[in-house]
Amino acid sequence: MCLTDIRARMHRACDEAARPCDSVTLVAVCKNRTAEEIAPLLAAGQRVFGENRVQEAAAKWPALRAAHGDIELHLIGQLQTNKAKEAVALFDVIESLDRENLADALVAEMKKQNRILPCFIQVNTGEEPQKGGAAPKDLPDFYAYCRNAGIDVAGLMCIPPAQDVAALHFALLRKLAGELPAPKPLQLSMGMSGDFETAIR
Ligand SMILES: *Cc1c(COP(=O)(O)O)cnc(C)c1O
């Protein structure tokens, strides 16, 4: 699958859903990809990327950033509190905020480093025990906790159970976002290679 095809499919899905194309952002997930594999995407203008592990991102992105200043790097994988310092230094957006002690660790590090990273709260819409994320019923309290702690909550993120109909989880995430007392509309980070058109719809 190439970037040009994905962009065309995103446009089509936006048209079909009657939503403006600039209301959707492609986060190019490049875990397990080398800097050489990422280079053509940068050359084609892609600037928003996702990584799921701090160590792997630390090995690739400082050099890529030095060559292309305007990159926006998202952490999409689970984050241990003892890696919060490195994550805050390396990433621009944290998409996997899923528990109170992580919110505390991120706020402390952002203050220390004088950096503000928008965060997405990960919601475990399928309530899978092995997956990170706040349970839907705990989301209002966790959202309030994060806001009170000083986190800029930009939106919600979910990774549906592999065997489920993804659309139901995407719809739930949207509903949950609409029920939170957010100062501006929350963004939704959802959909992967196999279902991004469903996520856009
Ligand atoms: C790997 C990963 C993706 C990308 O999955 P693809 O099916 O390769 O598009 C998206 N989100 C998360 C959280 C991931 O870990």
Q: Per residue in 134-150, pLDDT tens? A: 999 999 999 999 999 99
Question: In this structure, which residue's CA is closest to atom 2 in ligand 1?
Answer: 29
What atom in ligand 1 is closest to the CA of residue 29?
4
User: Long-range contacts: 21-30, Cβ < 8 Å, 24+?
Assistant: 24/200, 27/74, 27/76, 27/189, 28/3, 29/76, 29/192, 30/60
Residue 71 C-alpha to ligand 1 middle, in angstroms?
19
Please report which confidence band the pLDDT of residue 156 belongs to, taking 50, 70 and 90 as the band edges.
very high
Q: Which pLDDT belongs to residue 121?
A: 98
User: pLDDT tens across 19-46, in order?
Assistant: 999 999 999 999 999 999 999 999 999 9
3-state secondary structure of 132: coil
Q: What is the pLDDT of residue 77?
A: 97
Q: Which of 132, 122, 129 is nearest to 173 (CA)?
A: 122
Atom of ligand 1 nearest to the CA of 95: 13
Do 178 and 149 form a contact (C-beta atoms < 8 A)?
A: no
Cα gap 108→14, rounded to integer Å: 39
Give 33's contacts (C-beta < 8 A, 6+ positions apart).
Answer: none
**What integer pLDDT is reported at residue 1 of this predicted model?**
73
- Reported in sequence order, the residue ranges of the chain that DSSP labels E, i.e. its strands, are 28-29, 48-51, 72-75, 93-97, 119-122, 153-157, 187-189
Question: What are the CA-CA distances from residue 178 to residues 77, 104, 173 (Å)?
Answer: 24, 25, 9
Least trusted range by pLDDT, from 66-75, 85-94, 104-113: 66-75
pLDDT at 135: 98
Please determine, for residue 56, whether its predicted confidence score (pLDDT) is greater than 80: yes
**What pLDDT score does 44 carry?**
95
Instruction: DSSP letter for 72, please.
Output: E
Looking at residue 69, its pLDDT comes to 82
Residue whose Cα lies nearest atom 1 of ligand 1: it is 29
- Closest atom of ligand 1 to CA, residue 157: 13
